[in-house]
Amino acid sequence: MSATDKPKNPEKHCTYLPSEKKSSKPFHNTPNLDELEKGPWPSFVTGLKRLAMQDKFGNMMVDLLGQLEHSYKTRLGYWKGGTVSVFGYGGGIIPRFTELMGTDGKPMFPESKEFHTIRVQPPAGNHYSTKMLRQLSDSWDKHGSGLIAFHGQTGNIMFIGTTTQNVQTFFDEINEYGWDLGGAGPCVRTGMSCIGAARCEQSNCDEQKIHRLLVNNFMDDMHRPALPYKFKFKVSGCPNDCMNSIQRSDFAVIGTWRDDMKVDQAEVKKYVADKGRKYIVDNVVSRCPTKALSLNDDDTLAVDNRNCVRCMHCINVMTKALSPGDDKGVTILLGGKRTLKIGDTMGTVLVPFMKLESDDDYEALKELAETIIDFWAENALEHERTGETIERIGLVNFLEGIGIEPDPNMISSARQSSYVRMDDWDAEAEKWKARKAG
Ligand code: SF4
């Protein structure tokens, strides 16, 4: 592969490139990557080229671009894993070693032959201060490539690109001022919580407290992977579920309320006066999934709270007029996950409503999580998420295993049906047995 002094078309595409290249290694020719800089949108290639011009780890990024270009040409990936960790930890690092060797048996791109990612837990609710961000960036400039992703899919801050030796030095430095590694591998993973009551009026619970409680309680399970597979906690303060917890976590805690939603009729009237009755009917009333809303002749709003399923649509549209009720708590769902073996699963409602006010309430939440993880760890197959275990052994068995009584408010599919038949259960079971025997 031939080399050039400058990336192709820097004037056109690389608007953020510094004028002076401080790294000593010339850029590789990267025609495929250059294509990804075209157009008006930001380009990760431009970002990588900018880092490649810096002094300390610039050469590493130059070779990273070279390996990436090679991958684009051959349509193959060339990273393999391995074992890299810091003292006392079993996880938190994603090792990456190059597999791309030249005919002489040496790495084709030696400067980036080790390109590990370090996962660091974000603060609950992602509440950073600029001081924290500067500290982290400064440390990463010292020990790593400068490439950071806020945040990876699990929620970690991803410090991407460093050598085996620098993993420990970087960790020691950031740990000194309060940061800890996240989870990687078959373990309890880094938790996530929405920004919560600090910035959001729809919050129904103390998201950050729940997040910290759960994650701190399972810190050992995060740092020493010993579970059948990953287990994720996510906390959203309301059913808008900004953390996608229902879809992306094994144990989702979602804030909700069980009394009536609050309606400020004066604000409703103002809203109607401003937007018109047709707009309200078309955009709020008729979009309620359970037809629980109606607009009265005097421009007030009637809410059939018994049939409201807390989808949040009307509250999101009429934020001043409508808000969650006062009797707040959380719903707990279990078993959400992305694709793999049995396809995507959404969390299943395990606890329809739980108050979280007293220390005892929080203790009960912690115990529930412990019971679930213990049962799942003992009964799951290797590489089996909770949703898959439930699918395999059946929800009834899972509920029995964790000691939770079936409840008709447990919902198998959002806004649709209970999965537990409470009417004539025994008679139905007898009929089923007879059908099976016959
Ligand atoms: Fe209907 Fe959703 Fe509003 Fe409840 S929150 S009344 S279900 S639109």
Ligand 1 centre distance from Cα of residue 321 (Å): 13
61 touches ligand 1 (CB under 6 Å): no
Tokens of 121: 């837990």
Nearest Cα residue to atom 1 of ligand 1: 288
Ligand 1 atom closest to Cα of residue 309: 7
Give, for all 438 residues of the chain, the pLDDT tens digit: 445 555 555 444 445 567 788 888 999 999 999 999 988 888 899 999 999 998 889 999 999 999 999 999 999 999 998 888 889 888 889 999 999 999 999 999 999 999 999 999 999 999 999 999 999 999 999 999 999 999 988 889 999 999 999 999 999 999 999 999 988 888 899 999 999 998 999 999 999 999 999 999 999 889 988 899 999 999 999 999 999 999 889 999 999 999 999 999 999 999 999 999 999 999 999 999 999 999 999 999 999 999 999 999 999 999 999 999 999 999 999 988 887 777 788 888 889 899 999 999 999 999 999 999 999 999 999 999 999 999 899 888 899 999 988 776 776 655 555 555 556 767 777 877 787 787
Domain 192-255+328-437 falls under CATH 3.40.50.10790:
no
Inter-residue contact 295 to 281 (CB < 8 Å): yes
316 touches ligand 1 (CB under 6 Å): no
Nearest Cα residue to atom 3 of ligand 1: 314
Ligand 1 centre distance from Cα of residue 159 (Å): 41
313 touches ligand 1 (CB under 6 Å): yes
Q: Kind of pairing, strands 348-354 and 328-334?
A: antiparallel
303 touches ligand 1 (CB under 6 Å): yes
CATH for 262-323 is: 3.30.70.20
Inter-residue contact 346 to 334 (CB < 8 Å): no
Backbone angles phi, psi at 188, to 5 degrees: -70, 130
Locate CATH 3.30.70.2500 in the chain. 93-176
CATH of region 93-176, choose from 1.10.8.10, 3.30.70.2500, 3.30.470.10, 2.60.120.260: 3.30.70.2500
314 touches ligand 1 (CB under 6 Å): yes
> Which of the listed residues 301, 314, 317 should we mutate to test ligand 1's pocket, taking the one with most ligand atoms within 8 A of CB?
314
Nearest Cα residue to atom 2 of ligand 1: 311
From residue 359, alpha-carbon distances to 204, 257, 355 in Å are: 17, 19, 11
> Which of the listed residues 293, 301, 318 should we mutate to test ligand 1's pocket, taking the one with most ligand atoms within 8 A of CB?
293
The b/e string for 254-290 (b: 16+ C-beta within 10 A; e otherwise) is bbbbeeebebeeebbeebbeeeeeeebeeebbeebee
Q: How many CB atoms lie within 10 A of CB 300?
A: 15
Ligand 1 atom closest to Cα of residue 312: 5
Locate CATH 3.30.413.10 in the chain. 192-255+328-437
H helical segments located in 336-382: 359-379
213 touches ligand 1 (CB under 6 Å): no
Ligand 1 atom closest to Cα of residue 313: 8
Locate CATH 3.30.70.20 in the chain. 262-323
